[in-house]
């Protein structure tokens, strides 16, 4: 008897909760959204708020943060040539890397898609193989290739020509960046091309379009989502990187990532407020650039 | 110079690696003709069409378009348009932009483009769909957009690669009639590839029957059906009964007497002269043989008493299998009387007299 009442009691309570849930849509919504919102708050919004707050704080003696509101950090960024130059240099490095990756990656992806299926897998595999080696090691390898006694200069010397100073230089940085980013361009374009119906190219030719016009009017617009995705995947990490420019640029010229790293960790004393302001500006610039880019590239489809 | 010949193929060969897809094909397609290439899949009909379009170049031989050799001319320099089996409409363009594509490529003035696109869409009854995207249209509508996109360029020849293959049966029948009447209205030469013999018979002025890369016969639908030149054509187009035997004697009027391998004496029509003792095949269409209860008058040719083995009533006809010598012989009897009387129809086990006029049976040598 007793267990029966207990059972019916708990059943009653469950019934009440269920009824409450049914009645209050707001409660339902809250419960469903809570885990996701909690995660976003803890790991995205909160750190961002902290960075924003820091960017308006004052850097005290010894790198201590003083909570006095100031716009000096932002003023420094926009007036001191060290920072302004680093921004432009990083953005240009990103633009060039993206362009070169696009010019190399699109034909490569096209070539792979046009192979018989069993070859496609092998070739894609070859594109991915470098990822299995640590990125630092691969960048050091480029130092060896480009250095004064490296493979290229040895070959040049063997031909009886004078050596060329390839490393360290901004060109070497670009080579390293393109090398490291190429797979991120090839894979999205490959995915877009493998969904592309190549009969459409025949249809375009049939209607009087030569290869160039058929590419520009049909293939490129229809694979634009792949191009856009690849460009973003290449551009963003490239603008923020600091390893490649340190190693292949010889730490002589400053890119955004190098300055950020220095402000937070290396300089004595560190300057977190200035670093935070730099990160915020960086984020805004990238967001605006990407929005513009997507507007332009996906216009055709809407 | 071209004497009303739109497309002239001379000894065209196409090899892919070690496969000979098209093997010395020669044919002349006349101006304004609805010409079909008919054959099983892999017979070379699509490859031949693709060579006329310019998507493939012949390994050897020549292709003339209104007297001009185009063997190695790329597709975008040929005034020929194709309707693809998959339609191949550009998904990122509207219907109107799809139709305008060819004219834009030819740098037609925008005013003319607008007018011709409207006309072309009216022609295929899609006037109100100009602003839609292809994926918002049904299969039949997409098919018509593909037609408009090709026809708007006023091509010398329109090539159609199994354009109705993806449609369901009812829509297919509708489109067959529509295509045929469209072709008569615009007067453009149509070259039509299909594996559907009924479709080819219904729509074409002339048909080329192909198999294994070769053209077996070119002729009007009647010629192809009534006077096939070989076993393959007789078998592929419609249905038929084959009886193998040897020629015994030849009479005037092209009639020959055949002794079949299982000892029947049969008479048939020769389509080319055949010497006695030649091995031949007799081909008799099921609707061209008759089964009667009473023995036909004496002297009726090809008359044999037979037993009915199987009967299938299919509405318009009854299909009857009778035992003739070692084989089952298929014949169709039209149900021209409306009755439920069981005696009006043949039943298995009954016997009757099978016969056919000598000219209803064709003597084939290949």
Measured distance CA(B92)–CA(B90) in Å, rounded: 6
Q: Which tokens is B291 given? A: 């089964």
The answer to whether B280 and B247 are in contact (CB under 8 A) is yes
Give the mean pLDDT of B308-336: 92
Element (H, E) at A65: strand A65-66
Indicate if the pLDDT at residue A1 is higher than 50: no
Identify any residues that bridge with B16 across adjacent strands, giving them in sequence order: B19
Are B75 and A202 a contacting pair at CB < 8 A? yes
In this prediction the ipTM stands at 0.84
d(CA B51, nearest CA chain A) in Å: 12
pLDDT at residue A6 in the model: 56
The beta-carbon neighbor of A200 closest among B53, B90, B153 is B90
Q: How far is CA A171 from its chain centroid?
A: 21
Give the mean pLDDT of A22-30: 81
d(CA B8, nearest CA chain A) in Å: 19
Residues 66-85 of B with CB under 8 A from A: 74-76, 80-82, 84
Measured distance CA(B247)–CA(B264) in Å, rounded: 12
Give the mean pLDDT of B149-166: 92
Give per-residue pLDDT as tens, A64-123. 888 888 898 999 999 998 899 988 999 999 999 999 999 999 999 999 999 999 999 999
Give the mean pLDDT of B7-18: 93
For an interface test with B, give the residue of A202, A207, A222, A302 to mutate (most B CBs within 10 A).
Answer: A207
Q: Which of A117, A178, A108, A107 is nearest to A142 (CA)?
A: A178
What is the average pLDDT value for chain B, to the nearest integer? 92
Give the residue from chain B lying closest to A222, CA to CA: B92
Q: Does A205 touch chain B (CB under 8 A)?
A: yes
Indicate if the pLDDT at residue A203 is higher than 90: yes
Q: Does B86 touch chain A (CB under 8 A)?
A: yes
Give the residue from chain B lying closest to A213, CA to CA: B105
Measured distance CA(B59)–CA(B44) in Å, rounded: 14
Indicate if the pLDDT at residue A299 is higher than 70: no
Burial class (CB in 10 A: 0-12, 13-18, 19+), A85: middle
Question: B102 to chain A: which residues are within 8 Å by CB?
Answer: 207-208
Indicate if the pLDDT at residue B16 is higher than 80: yes
* Percentage with pLDDT > 90 across chain A: 43
pLDDT at residue A302 in the model: 41
pLDDT at residue A55 in the model: 92
What is the average pLDDT value for chain A, to the nearest integer? 87
Q: Does A227 touch chain B (CB under 8 A)?
A: no
Give the mean pLDDT of A173-202: 94
Helix (H, G, I), strand (E, B) or coil at A160: coil
The beta-carbon neighbor of A199 closest among B88, B101, B105 is B88
Helix (H, G, I), strand (E, B) or coil at B257: strand
3-state helix, strand, coil in chain B (%, to 5): 30, 35, 35
The answer to whether A100 and A298 are in contact (CB under 8 A) is no
Give the residue from chain A lying closest to B159, CA to CA: A206
pLDDT at residue A245 in the model: 86
d(CA B72, nearest CA chain A) in Å: 14
Q: Which of B55, B58, B122 is nearest to B85 (CA)?
A: B55
Q: Does B92 touch chain A (CB under 8 A)?
A: yes
Per DSSP, B366 falls in state -
Measured distance CA(B123)–CA(B23) in Å, rounded: 38
Element (H, E) at B318: strand B317-324
Q: Does B101 touch chain A (CB under 8 A)?
A: yes
Give the residue from chain A lying closest to B80, CA to CA: A206
d(CA B214, nearest CA chain A) in Å: 26
For an interface test with A, give the residue of B88, B98, B142, B166 to mutate (most A CBs within 10 A).
Answer: B88
Task: List Cα–Cα distances, B220 to A26, B7, B105, B114, in angstroms.
Answer: 76, 17, 37, 39
Helix (H, G, I), strand (E, B) or coil at A83: helix
Q: Does A116 touch chain B (CB under 8 A)?
A: no
Give per-residue pLDDT as tens, B159-172. 999 998 878 888 88
Measured distance CA(A26)–CA(B249) in Å, rounded: 99
Number of residues written out for chain B: 366
Are B75 and A205 a contacting pair at CB < 8 A? yes
* Percentage with pLDDT > 90 across chain B: 72
Q: Which of A282, A284, A288, A234 is nearest to A260 (CA)?
A: A282
pLDDT level of residue A126 (50, 70, 90 thresholds): very high
Give per-residue pLDDT as tens, B38-72. 999 889 999 999 999 999 999 999 999 999 999 88
Question: A204 to chain B: which residues are within 8 Å by CB?
Answer: 90, 101
Give per-residue pLDDT as tens, A231-269. 999 999 999 888 888 888 877 788 888 888 888 887 778
pLDDT at residue B2 in the model: 59
pLDDT at residue B232 in the model: 94
Question: B73 to chain A: which residues are within 8 Å by CB?
Answer: none
Distance from first CA to last CA of chain B, Å, rounded? 36
Burial string for A279-295 (b: 16+ CB within 10 Å, else e) reads bbbbeeebeebeeeebe
**Picking from A205-219, A247-261, B201-215, which range would have the lowest pLDDT averaged per residue?**
A247-261
Give the mean pLDDT of B169-198: 90
Measured distance CA(B335)–CA(A91) in Å, rounded: 84
Reported in sequence order, the residue ranges of B138-234 that DSSP labels E, i.e. its strands, are 157-161, 189-194, 206-211, 214-219
Give the mean pLDDT of B334-359: 90
The answer to whether B41 and B213 are in contact (CB under 8 A) is no
* Percentage with pLDDT > 70 across chain B: 99
Are A221 and B92 a contacting pair at CB < 8 A? yes
Number of residues written out for chain A: 302
pLDDT at residue A268 in the model: 74
Give the residue from chain B lying closest to A199, CA to CA: B88
d(CA B134, nearest CA chain A) in Å: 13
Q: Which tokens is A230 given? A: 């690849």
pLDDT at residue A7 in the model: 56
Burial string for B81-101 (b: 16+ CB within 10 Å, else e) reads bbbbbbbbbbebbbbbbbbbb
The answer to whether B116 and B197 are in contact (CB under 8 A) is no
Give the residue from chain A lying closest to B149, CA to CA: A207
Are A202 and B153 a contacting pair at CB < 8 A? no
pLDDT level of residue B314 (50, 70, 90 thresholds): very high
Q: Does B361 touch chain A (CB under 8 A)?
A: no
Give the mean pLDDT of A166-184: 90
Measured distance CA(B239)–CA(A85) in Å, rounded: 84
Distance from first CA to last CA of chain A, Å, rounded? 69
Burial string for A26-56 (b: 16+ CB within 10 Å, else e) reads eeeeeeeeeeeeeeeeeeeeeeeeebeebbb
Are B92 and A301 a contacting pair at CB < 8 A? yes
Q: Which tokens is B177 given? A: 């009639």
């Amino acid at each position: 008897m007793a267990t029966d009442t207990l059972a019916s009691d708990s059943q009653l309570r469950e019934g009440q909760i269920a009824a409450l849930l049914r009645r209050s849509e707001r409660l339902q919504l809250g419960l469903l959204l809570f885990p996701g919102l909690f995660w976003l708050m803890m790991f995205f919004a909160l750190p961002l708020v902290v960075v924003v707050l820091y960017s308006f704080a004052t850097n005290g003696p010894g790198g201590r943060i003083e909570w006095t509101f100031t716009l000096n950090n932002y003023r420094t960024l926009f007036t001191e040539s060290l920072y302004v130059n680093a921004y432009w240099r990083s953005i240009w490095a990103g633009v060039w890397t993206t362009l070169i990756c696009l010019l190399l990656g699109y034909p490569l992806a096209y070539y792979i898609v046009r192979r018989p299926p069993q070859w496609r897998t092998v070739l894609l595999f070859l594109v991915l193989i470098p990822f299995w080696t640590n990125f630092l090691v691969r960048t050091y390898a480029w130092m060896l290739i480009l250095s004064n006694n490296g493979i290229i200069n040895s070959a040049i010397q063997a031909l009886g020509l004078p050596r060329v100073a390839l490393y360290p230089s901004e060109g070497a940085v670009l080579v390293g960046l393109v090398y490291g980013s190429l797979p991120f361009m090839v894979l999205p374009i490959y995915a877009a091309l493998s969904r592309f119906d190549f009969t459409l190219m025949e249809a375009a030719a049939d209607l009087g379009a030569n290869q160039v016009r058929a590419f520009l009017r049909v293939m490129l617009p229809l694979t634009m989502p792949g191009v856009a995705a690849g460009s973003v995947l290449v551009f963003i990490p490239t603008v923020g990187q600091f390893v490649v420019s340190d190693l292949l640029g010889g730490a002589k010229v400053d890119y955004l990532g190098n300055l950020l790293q220095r402000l937070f960790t290396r300089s004595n004393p560190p300057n977190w407020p200035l670093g935070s302001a730099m990160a915020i500006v960086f984020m805004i610039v990238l967001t605006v650039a990407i929005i513009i880019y997507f507007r332009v590239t996906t216009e055709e489809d809407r | 110079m071209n004497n009303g010949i739109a497309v002239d193929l001379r000894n065209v060969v196409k090899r892919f690696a070690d496969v000979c897809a098209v093997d010395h094909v020669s044919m002349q397609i006349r101006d304004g003709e609805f010409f079909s290439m008919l054959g099983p899949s892999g017979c070379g009909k699509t490859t031949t069409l693709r060579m006329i379009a310019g998507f493939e170049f012949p390994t050897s031989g020549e292709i003339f378009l209104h007297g001009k050799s185009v063997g190695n001319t790329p597709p975008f320099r040929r005034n020929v348009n194709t309707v693809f089996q998959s339609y191949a409409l550009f998904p990122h363009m509207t219907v109107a932009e799809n139709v305008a594509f060819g004219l834009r490529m030819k740098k037609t003035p925008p005013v003319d483009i607008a007018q011709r696109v409207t006309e072309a869409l009216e022609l295929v009854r899609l006037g109100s769909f100009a602003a839609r995207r292809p994926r918002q249209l049904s299969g039949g509508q997409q098919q018509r957009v593909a037609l408009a996109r090709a026809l708007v360029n006023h091509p010398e020849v329109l090539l159609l690669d199994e354009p109705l293959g993806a449609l369901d049966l009812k829509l297919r029948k509708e489109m067959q009639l529509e295509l045929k009447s469209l072709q008569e209205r615009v007067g453009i030469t149509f070259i039509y590839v299909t594996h559907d013999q009924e479709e080819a018979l219904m729509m074409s002025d002339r048909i080329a029957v192909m198999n294994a890369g070769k053209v077996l016969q070119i002729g009007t639908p009647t010629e192809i059906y009534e006077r096939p030149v070989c076993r393959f054509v007789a078998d592929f187009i419609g249905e038929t009964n084959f009886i193998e035997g040897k020629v015994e004697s030849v009479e005037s009027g092209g009639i020959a007497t055949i002794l079949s391998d299982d000892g029947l004496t049969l008479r048939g029509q020769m389509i080319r002269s055949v010497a006695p003792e030649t091995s031949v095949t007799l081909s008799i269409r099921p609707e061209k043989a008759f089964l009667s209860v009473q023995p036909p008058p004496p002297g009726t040719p090809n008359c044999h008493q037979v037993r009915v083995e199987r009967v299938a009533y299919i509405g318009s006809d009854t299909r009857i299998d009778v035992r003739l010598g070692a084989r089952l012989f298929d014949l169709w009897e039209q149900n021209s009387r409306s009755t439920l009387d069981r005696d009006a129809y043949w039943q298995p086990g009954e016997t009757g007299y099978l016969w056919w006029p000598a000219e209803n049976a064709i003597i084939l040598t290949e």
